[in-house]
Structure formats: C-alpha cells, structure tokens
Structure 1
Amino acid sequence: MRDPRFDVWAPFAKRLRVQVDGEIYDMVRSDESWWRPVGLPELPPEGAGHESDYGYLIDDDAHPYPDPRSRRQPGGVHGLSRTFDPNWYDWGDSEWRGRQLAGGVIYELHIGTFTPDGTLDSAIERLDHLVDLGVDFVEPMPVNAFNGDYGWGYDGAYWFAVHEPYGGPLAYQRFVDACHQRGLGVIQDVVYNHLGPSGNYLGKYGPYVANQHQTAWGDAVNLDGFDSDQVRRYITDNVLMWVRDFHVDGLRLDAVHALVDTRAVHILEEISMEVEAFSAHVGRPLTLIAESDMNAPRIIQPRVAGGYAITAQWSDDFHHAAHVTLTGEDDGYYEDFAETRGHGMGALKKVLTRGFFHDGAISTFRRRHHGRPLSPGTNAWRLVASTQNHDQIGNRARGDRLSEKLSADQLAVGATLLMCSPFTPMLFMGEEWGSTTPFQFFSSHPEAELAKSVSQGRIQEFSRMGWDESEIPDPQDPETFRRSKLEWMELDKPERAALLDVYRRLIALRKAHPELTSPWLRDVTAEYHVESRVFTFWRGDLEVVLNFSDETQHVALDVDVHWTEYRELPRILFATRDDVRVDGERATLPPYSAAVFGPTPE
C-alpha cells in the first residue's frame, strides 16, 4: 500500500532510499523526478499516537538527510524528520469566521521572547492581554525550523516544520485555536526568498536555489530557472499548509523584493491566486502582506490592472518619517526624510496624504530616484504602518527601542500619530507600555565557524558606522537573547500602565469613529508649523493635533473650514494628557501631547 508521506522530489539523485524507524527501503523514480518507497509496510495511523522518524539516503551517502517537506525536526535541522498528521488535532474554532484586514490592528511578536518560557503554550497565557488591548491580529515572527534553540527565525531550513523549542506543530495548532477562540486572527511571518546557512540540504535533492540570482543572504530561490515548476510548487504548497492545516488567517511575506522571478506569472501573483481560491473554499477572508522596499504599486494592485493582488504591504516610508519627526535622527536611510522642510514633518505630511514618500522622487540615500505613485483610489489600509517593528529595532546596533530615547509622553504622541493615521497600524510587542527591554539580534548556531562568522559580521557591520566594538552585542552570547525577553513586571509601574491606557483608548477610538478607518487618502489633509513643531491632520470631521515640542502650544482649530455645519464648538474626543484644553476655537496642548477633536453634535 502506497504511503505518500515519504514521497520526495529529488531530480539530482541517481539512487534514493528512505530510512523509516531504522529500516531502509528502496525508492523508485517517476517521470517528474518524484520518488516513492517500495516494500514499505503499512504503518499504524498517526492519530493513534504513532509517529515515524525517517530520512533519505541519497546516492551512496550512508547518512540520512531530512525531508525537504519535513513536518517535524525534533532532533534539530540536522536530525531525522518525524511524521506529523495535522488532521489529528481537535479544533475548537468552529465559530471563527475570520477577520478582514481593513479596519484591523496588528500586534507583531517573537515567540521566543514574548514570555519568559518562550513557547507557544506560554504565549497563549498572554493572549487575554492582547484582547484587553483591543488588537485584531497577532503576527508571530517566523516559527519554521531553524538552526539552534533560539533566533529570529529568518534563517529557516525547513519551511514545513514548526520550531521544536517553541513546542512543535501541535503547540502551534493550540496557539492558533486559542487566538481564534478569543477573537484574534493570526498572520504568520514566512520567508520564501532564501534558506538558512545551516541544515539546508535541499541542494542535494534538486535545484531549489538559483545560482543565476543573488540576494543579500546568498543564492536566491530558483523561481525561474530549469526545473523551477516544482520549486514554485514547494512554496505554494507551504502557503496552503499554513492556511489549511494551521488555520492561520494570513501570511506576512518577508522581503519580497528578493524574490527574483522573470517568468510571465510572478510567484507573488501565483501565491495570491492560490490563497484567493482557498479563501473561497473555506468561506473566510485570508490576508497576504508583503514586506517590500520597492514602493511598487503593482504589489497590491489587482491582477486585472497588471498587479500581483497582494492584500497589503509594509510601509517603511511611514516609519521613517515618524521616526525622524519623533527622534530627530537623520543618519543612514533617515536622511531622505530629514532633508524635507520641517525635520520630518514635511515627509510625514506627504506620506499621510499620498501613501508613498518615495513615489519617483530622488532618494539621496540610494543616490537615485525611487518608487512610483500609488494608483488613484488605492485603499490606505493596504499600507501597514508602524513606529516600531522587529526590523527597525533589532537592526539597530544595540536593538534599542524608542523608549530609550523618548519619554512616555513622547511615546504617546507617536501612538496617536500611528493609530489615527489612514493606514493599518501595527504594534511591536511591548510597545503598548513603552517596554524598556531591547530587542537585539540574537542567534544560537551550534557550529563554531558559523557562530564566529555571524558574531564577527555583526561587529564589522556596525564598526564601519563608528560604533565601538564593546557596544555591539554579540548575537551568539546567550545573554543577548535573555536581554531581549519582555519584562512583564514593568506593567506594575504607573508610567507604563498609563501609556498602556493610552493605547487602549486609541484603539477604542479607532473602532468608535468610522473616520479613522476610512480608506480614502483623498480625505486626509495635513499642515505643520516648523517653529512650534505642531502637526495637524484631518480624518473626515476629526482633527488630530500633535505637539512634538517641549513647550506648551496654543493651536487655532480649523473650525470654519470643516465644521461650519455644526452649531457648537469642538470637543476633545481623546487626549494623551489630562491638561489638554479647548476654549472655543483654540486648543492648548502642553509639551509632548496630542489630542483628537471632533464637532459637538447638534
């Protein structure tokens, strides 16, 4: 009787055998270079608790290699694979009908540092905090099997396996189920643009990597070369695994600009078609979010307009403009946003009203023109905005958060900007209370040479920028990982609890006023004053006023233009501080404060 669990695509192999539970069986090759075992006895069903450890002997190798589509790697990325039946789990989310991205709020987290234990089951214990906060989606950083016990997860070697130190695939099913039962959607971060440097044996099986294309992390995945049909199928099957076997509500696609694909149908378009078809089958919305630095509208444009029909994409432009305005930093890629008149506020105005800052304009950092304008009518929620995320924190030399430089009042101003923007807001774990723990780059490669290379590479990268070597955390030092764990006890501090309350009230305000979830950029207007550092923008009938300065500012509200149909004067709908005042058509904002004003109904 044929057991398809052990079929494997291996065009490079001349001979292939599979070792299952210590016994070795020959395999035969099909016309499409898929191999299947012969003489394999019928194994007990996995639902009865039986799982098999297995691996493949390629040509004359005496050492078995893991399955490229392995569902479990209990012994790490170099060990044997283990079978896993995703249908064994008894789901409790039958009432879950999904959640569209439009109008939602995302919460990004790293499973290994979200809780002291760093597991999926311990993360479940903190989900009620997220429900109380009011977010709609949880977005875990990659959970696929990677080398070592802890790391960011972007150097995954086995895309179909859930990292065992997190709890493995069954724990992941429990985590998604628990989210759904609390009304939280799950958007899983996945990486299809490269494979990790350790445990990656796919090149022994077939042409999974493309020597003709390079990424910043090495050879690109073979999307358009010889035998690339099966490599693309490898990716689309993985996409379907997450939404089918693990019930996730969407995927965040890492660095899609590194998906080098010259074929007529781009892999992103193929992914979006597969997800749309499955969404229609299960009757619930499914989301795709691309990380892209190209500012290319085609990523989110519909296919009929020549686009890839990805649901949304990250907005680096919003982050950079907000960061410059909040902190005054103007080095590296921030220089483009600081050069605009207003020390970031000019860039912020353009982003809030047009979506892209780099829309074909010159990028001094890149020393060339960059991007193109969004298509007219593009829904603003298709841009995912943040003031902090894993990249923008963790890729700093010390992994320092905004809380290291900004006061709680300043952080509250940034929160108001984010939550009242026309985009889909995303928080990074701990941001809601101004966590003071860093999020540093950490890894745990067991191979001495690779570990040394990673550590030295990090030091060299930031030494070139003028950092002293002693200030740069060693990613291989276990203390770097431990420092990056959230300190939940911080919530006992009044200042942190007060900031958390600001985020709660802002998310509730978003949900209460349709103006704040309106998708139309055409309805957003913005003004700023360089001297006072006051920034004002309108969302329909709501005026958002941000005081970025360290002095009290008196602001004339724009009543005549926007509120002439109302008989009464504006009222405060939200304020970051109790001492914000409104007197007639003028508002008084103390240092580092923000407020949202609306008309008093008749």
Structure 2
Amino acid sequence: MTINQFSQRPGISLNRDGKTASALVWAPFAETVLIEKNSTTKIALSQSTGGYWEGHELALAAGDRYQIILENETFPDPASLSQPDGVHSPSEVIDLYRYQWTDQNWSGIMPEQLIIYELHVGTFSKKGTFEGILPHLDRLKTLGVNAIELMPVAQFSGTRNWGYDGVFPFAVQNSYGGAGTLQHLVDECHKRGIAVILDVVYNHLGPEGNHLQKFGPYFTTKYKTPWGEALNFDDAYSDGVRHFFLENAQMWLRDFHIDGLRMDAVHAIKDLGAHHFLAELKQNLQNLNIADDRNHFLIAECDLNDVRYINPFKKGGYNLDAQWCDEFHHALHALTTGEENGYYSDFGGTGTLEKSYNHAFVYDGIYSPHRKKIFGSSTKGQPGYRFVVFAQNHDQTGNRMMGERLTQLVSFEMQKLIAAAYMLSPFTPMLFMGEEYGEHHPFLYFVSHSDPELILNVQKGRKKEFKDFMTEKEPPDPQSEETFKKSILTPPEKWNVAQQKLYDWYRFLIHFRKEQPVWQGDARKHFKAETISSKLIKLTYRNAATTMVCFGNFSKEAASVRQSGKIIESSASEKYGGFAKSSALQADSGRVNLPPESFTIFEIS
C-alpha cells in the first residue's frame, strides 16, 4: 500500500457500526506500535508501507481512553480527536459522525461576498465556550456579517491561550466544549446564513505536550522559523507529514462543515518541492467542493506581499482564495494614530493609504526603507476581494504591550471614520470582535501552561519584546488569569450610549456595502482613490448604474470641497453620535462641508 492510497484520517476512527474502530499511526522508525486501552488492554498494530502502522475492527468504542506505546514509551495520540483532561493525559475515542446535521441546504458563501468577524472563543463571552457564542449569533446576523472566523481551537495546554500553541491539531479544545459543541455552533451559524472560518496553524506546533518528533521526522533542520525547526513538508519522510496535515484540513471541512480555513503565517510553511503543500491542499479542497457541492475556501496570512499565493495554478501560483493585507492596516493605523515606530515607519499620511486603496500592497516591488530592500509584487489583475483588510485584529491589538484597542488610541469620531475607510474599501473587510461597538477592554496575550520553566521563558520573552517601551508600565503577566479576564468582552446589555451609536454606524456600513451594486463582484474594477491633501482622501466608485463618491477627512479641522450629488450619509451625523445636522453639510455654490474626522458618502445619478 502506498501513501496515496491512504484515505483514512490518522488516529482512531470509529467504524460506521460504532462498535469497532480503525487505527492509523505514522511511526516510520518504530519496531512495535501498540494501543493501550483504558490503561489495561494492549492492542498491537500491524506494520504497513510508508512508515504506517494500522489496525481494523479493533475493540474500541466511544468513550474509551487510550494511549499509544512506542518502544515501551507511552504517549497520547498525536492525531487524537479528544483530550478531555488536557495535553498530558490519555486520548479519548469519540464519534465524529454522531452529530445530526440540519444544514443540508447550506451551500456556503462565495469568497467575494465575505464580511468577516474574527473572534476568540475564550474571551468572546463570559462562558468562554462555543456554547457561549450561540446567544450572540442573532446580533451578529443583525449587524450584517456573514462569516465568523474562529481563532485556533486545536487542543493547547491549559485553558487560556490564543490558540497558536496547539499541539493536537485534530482535537478540539476541551475547555471550549470539544468536538460536538463545535459542530453544533457551525450548524447554528449555517441556519442564520453565517459561514464559519477556522484559523489553523500548519507552520509550527506549541511547546507543551508536543510529542510529534517522538513518532517520526515531523520537523526538519533544513529551515528555521520564528518558533524553531520548520515542519517537514519537503525533506526525507515528508509524505507522512503532508498526509497528516492534508487530512487535518479535510477533517475540518468535511466532518465539522467548516466553510473556510484561515492559515496562519503561510510564509513559514517551508516547501521547495515541485508541488507545494498549499497547492496540494487547494486541489484537495476543489475536489471536496465538487463532491459536497459547497463553497469551501482558503485564506492565507502572509507578510511577503507575494501574489504567488493567490495566483492561479496556470500562473505558477497556489490558487488560494484570498490573503490578509497587513499593509492596508499599517497605512490606516499610521495615518490615524500618528504612530511611526517599527514597521509603521514605512507608512503615514494619505499617500500610503491611497496607494493601498489602489494597489492593495503599498510595497509592490518598490524600495522599503524599513526593510532596506525592494519588496513585494504587483497586484495588477487581482480582484479586490482576494485581499482581506481590517483596522484591528488579534495580532495588531494583542501584540501591543498593553493590548490597547483603537478605542484607547483615537477619538470616537475617528473610530467611525476608520470603520468606513476599510468597510467601504474595494477589498474583503474583517472586523475584530468588540470593534463594532468600541470595546474598552484590551485584548492581551495570555497562556496557562503548567511547565514552570516554560512559564518563566514566556514571561521573560514578553518583557524582552517590549523592553524599549517599558517606562512606567510593565507588560501584563501572560500566565495570570487576571490578564485573561481583562480581555473578556463587555456584554451588549452593558454597552453605553456611544457604544450603541457606534454599533449602529457599523450596521449601516455593512448593510450599505451589501446593498450597493458597486460592491458586487470585483469592486476594484470600478474604484479609484485620490489624495486631496495630507489629511483628505477621495474614493470614487463608478459603474454603469451609479457613481458613489466618499470623502475621508482625517484632519481635526473641517474641510470644504466642491462636490455635486446627494449626501447619502455621514459619520458625523447626530444619529451616529456626531454633532452635524444634514443641512449643515451642504454649503452654497455646490460646495460641501466635511466635519473634522468624518466620512461622508455621496451618490451621483
């Protein structure tokens, strides 16, 4: 049997009769591989080809706890579906097919229609579970978003973590509720017309409870990543590693009905082989779409400004559906906050924001002073929806020393301007949880490891990272439960008047975008951004049906421009907590008054 003939998911899979199970373990250097069931019974697996060990019709049932014995050393299953007592305890056999789905009529959402809402399960609600998200789904639907993006849910150590320290890629975090409750959440989202995107990490594994290297050469010394040795996607024995992660992606899409995967830092997936892992992943997804008649998709996080990731196969690309565009965030953030340290030194003023509006990447093959080299590639011919833009996300907020949101950095009026600036861009917009009402709580970095040495290293590393910023303050202790609690969102019943007004503005923007023809399909074809002054930018959408003109005044001073047409809405309006009456915006002789820190929308017949 060859590797390509293995269609079975790694680990323990219950057979359809529910009374027996099959096992598949990749351990190419092992002499013997056994499964220890409920700490008593030992079941030997048979050696197959490609470094695999397998067993069929095994006496394993749902609820059984088990471990894998390699050369007399016992480990949880690296492809475990459930770790009910954490990363250091035995794995559990569960039945992924037990859940009764009700989304048979759901076909998914096309990538060009997405309006994404990123959330962290543990801090989104007071419960900190999948179940805790359910009461908020109707509010999110009313807001207008049509996709939620869950930060990683693969099992990590402890109960508090961003999720990027996962060590069991197939197991759903026990403290969030496990596999069945995630399936239920997805089902409930689909009932409301909301897609679910899952953040997955295929570039590294976390440090605590990571036993993959004991099973086989999952890592390679050929490459280094920020987290150490790279996962082995192209070195000797890489077939087994590729199979492991390709099957992981298939599981989320097939067995959990996840609509799309957001893949963390794909530039750290090192693969110089003839058929890149990401291209193979996309081909598998296309086959699944045909089989399931659904619209599954892949979104990449990448900091290389490289369109190879989204280019079609025929152009030598990996054909991913979209990628995050950090540079839009950087341009918008530098302009509105005045921050110029670090990578923000490459941005600032309306010029770089105009460049990003028109080209997505600011550095698209030009010299970057911060990087001290020519950087990036041209986005010519790329549809706008292939770039996901945002004003905040978990990284840009949580990687600040104090986890400040824009609420703490800019005025209320500027928050509304920022919202419109990216929500009405020609790209795919993504909100970060709490942004829609101006959450005042920070989003901090937190962990709950059990290894004292690892805890100390994380604490020291956080202080080292911010040593140049530590004057009167020190970074919050990531291990402290209080750090986690400070990051929990404010429930809607406790929002103040200003927060409700901001929510109303976001709701208007989202529904306006969804209703207007200029944002249907590839909005980039109809779009042009122009810098009017160092603090004033003009956005124009023009198609056969209508012309839409928007002005973003990023100055603290009012501006006046000549503009015909009907004023559709302004962020400065009284109904959104501003001070401007509609009659005060239209001046004499065809001129229009633009209040300080405002966004104004015109329609020209």
TM tier relative to shorter chain: over 0.9
* Structure 1 counterpart of 2:48: 30
CA contact (8 A) 2:38 2:66 kept: yes
* Secondary structure of the structure 2 residue equivalent to 1:7: strand
Cα offset, 1:477, TM superposition: 1.1
* Structure 2 counterpart of 1:560: none
The 5 A counterparts of 1:440-479 are 440-463=444-467, 465-468=468-471, 470-479=473-482
Note the alpha carbon deviations across 1:136-158, whole angstroms, 9 max, x for none: 10000000001111100001100
- Which of 350, 356, 361 is the equivalent residue of 1:351? 356
Cα offset, 1:212, TM superposition: 1.6
The 5 A counterparts of 1:50-65 are 50-61=62-73, 64-65=74-75
- Which of 500, 521, 524 is the equivalent residue of 1:521? 524
Cα offset, 1:521, TM superposition: 3.0
Output the CA distance in 2 between the equivalents of 1:503 and 1:351: 22
Cα offset, 1:37, TM superposition: 4.6
Output the CA distance in 2 between the equivalents of 1:469 and 1:460: 15
* Structure 1 counterpart of 2:556: 550
Which has the higher mean CA deviation after the structures are superposed, 179-188 or 364-373?
364-373
CA contact (8 A) 1:300 1:311 kept: yes
Cα offset, 1:537, TM superposition: 1.2
- Which of 109, 118, 124 is the equivalent residue of 2:128? 118
Output the CA distance in 2 between the equivalents of 1:435 and 1:553: 29
CA contact (8 A) 1:13 1:204 kept: no
Output the CA distance in 1 between the equivalents of 2:334 and 2:81: 43
CA contact (8 A) 1:433 1:491 kept: no
* Structure 2 counterpart of 1:233: 243
CA contact (8 A) 1:491 1:497 kept: no
Aligned residues: 573
Tell me if 1:299 matches 2:278: no
Tell me if 1:278 matches 2:280: no
CA contact (8 A) 2:21 2:58 kept: no
Tell me if 1:151 matches 2:161: yes
* Structure 2 counterpart of 1:573: 568
Cα offset, 1:299, TM superposition: 0.5
Output the CA distance in 2 between the equivalents of 1:41 and 1:494: 60
Which has the higher mean CA deviation after the structures are superposed, 13-22 or 162-171?
13-22
* Structure 1 counterpart of 2:6: none
CA contact (8 A) 1:28 1:37 kept: yes
Output the CA distance in 2 between the equivalents of 1:391 and 1:317: 13
Output the CA distance in 2 between the equivalents of 1:491 and 1:575: 26
CA contact (8 A) 1:354 1:521 kept: no
CA contact (8 A) 2:124 2:433 kept: yes
* Structure 2 counterpart of 1:170: 180
CA contact (8 A) 1:17 1:37 kept: no
Note the alpha carbon deviations across 1:87-113, whole angstroms, 9 max, x for none: 110011122121112032000000000
* Secondary structure of the structure 2 residue equivalent to 1:18: strand
Cα offset, 1:528, TM superposition: 2.2
Cα offset, 1:31, TM superposition: 2.4
Percent of aligned pairs sharing the same letter: 40
CA contact (8 A) 1:490 1:496 kept: no
* Secondary structure of the structure 1 residue equivalent to 2:413: helix
Cα offset, 1:298, TM superposition: 1.0
* Secondary structure of the structure 2 residue equivalent to 1:432: helix
- Which of 193, 198, 201 is the equivalent residue of 1:183? 193
CA contact (8 A) 1:360 1:369 kept: yes
Note the alpha carbon deviations across 1:408-442, whole angstroms, 9 max, x for none: 21100001101110000000000000111100110
Note the alpha carbon deviations across 1:357-382, whole angstroms, 9 max, x for none: 111111121111111111x3210110
Cα offset, 1:555, TM superposition: 1.5
Cα offset, 1:279, TM superposition: 0.7
Cα offset, 1:32, TM superposition: 2.0
Could you tell me which amino acid in structure 1 is paired with residue 516 of structure 2? Answer: H
Cα offset, 1:471, TM superposition: 2.6
- Which of 584, 590, 593 is the equivalent residue of 1:588? 593
CA contact (8 A) 1:353 1:522 kept: no
Could you tell me which amino acid in structure 1 is paired with residue 328 of structure 2? Answer: F
- Which of 407, 415, 420 is the equivalent residue of 2:419? 415
* Structure 1 counterpart of 2:232: 222
CA contact (8 A) 1:17 1:25 kept: yes
Output the CA distance in 1 between the equivalents of 2:259 and 2:55: 35
Q: Tell me how large the CA RMSD over aligned residues is.
A: 1.6
Output the CA distance in 2 between the equivalents of 1:205 and 1:93: 38
Could you tell me which amino acid in structure 1 is paired with residue 538 of structure 2? Answer: T
* Secondary structure of the structure 1 residue equivalent to 2:240: helix
CA contact (8 A) 2:463 2:474 kept: no
Which has the higher mean CA deviation after the structures are superposed, 518-527 or 478-487?
518-527
Output the CA distance in 2 between the equivalents of 1:159 and 1:544: 45
* Structure 1 counterpart of 2:537: 535
Cα offset, 1:192, TM superposition: 0.3
Could you tell me which amino acid in structure 1 is paired with residue 508 of structure 2? Answer: R
Output the CA distance in 2 between the equivalents of 1:51 and 1:365: 54
- Which of 481, 486, 493 is the equivalent residue of 1:483? 486
Could you tell me which amino acid in structure 2 is paired with residue 349 of structure 1? Answer: E
The 5 A counterparts of 1:318-467 are 318-338=328-348, 343=349, 345-374=350-379, 376-463=380-467, 465-467=468-470
* Structure 2 counterpart of 1:88: 98
* Secondary structure of the structure 2 residue equivalent to 1:403: helix
Note the alpha carbon deviations across 1:489-527, whole angstroms, 9 max, x for none: 575311000000000000111011111345153532222
Output the CA distance in 2 between the equivalents of 1:196 and 1:314: 23
Q: Cα–Cα, structure 1 residues 226 and 321, in superposed 2: closer, same or farther, change >3 Å?
A: same
Could you tell me which amino acid in structure 1 is paired with residue 282 of structure 2? Answer: S
CA contact (8 A) 2:329 2:389 kept: yes
Output the CA distance in 2 between the equivalents of 1:226 and 1:476: 38
Note the alpha carbon deviations across 1:121-173, whole angstroms, 9 max, x for none: 01111111100100010000000001111100001100000000000000100
* Structure 1 counterpart of 2:511: 508
TM-score by length of 1: 0.93
CA contact (8 A) 1:459 1:469 kept: no
Note the alpha carbon deviations across 1:455-497, whole angstroms, 9 max, x for none: 110001101x232384311111111100011012575311000
Output the CA distance in 2 between the equivalents of 1:489 and 1:169: 28
Could you tell me which amino acid in structure 2 is paired with residue 54 of structure 1? Answer: Y
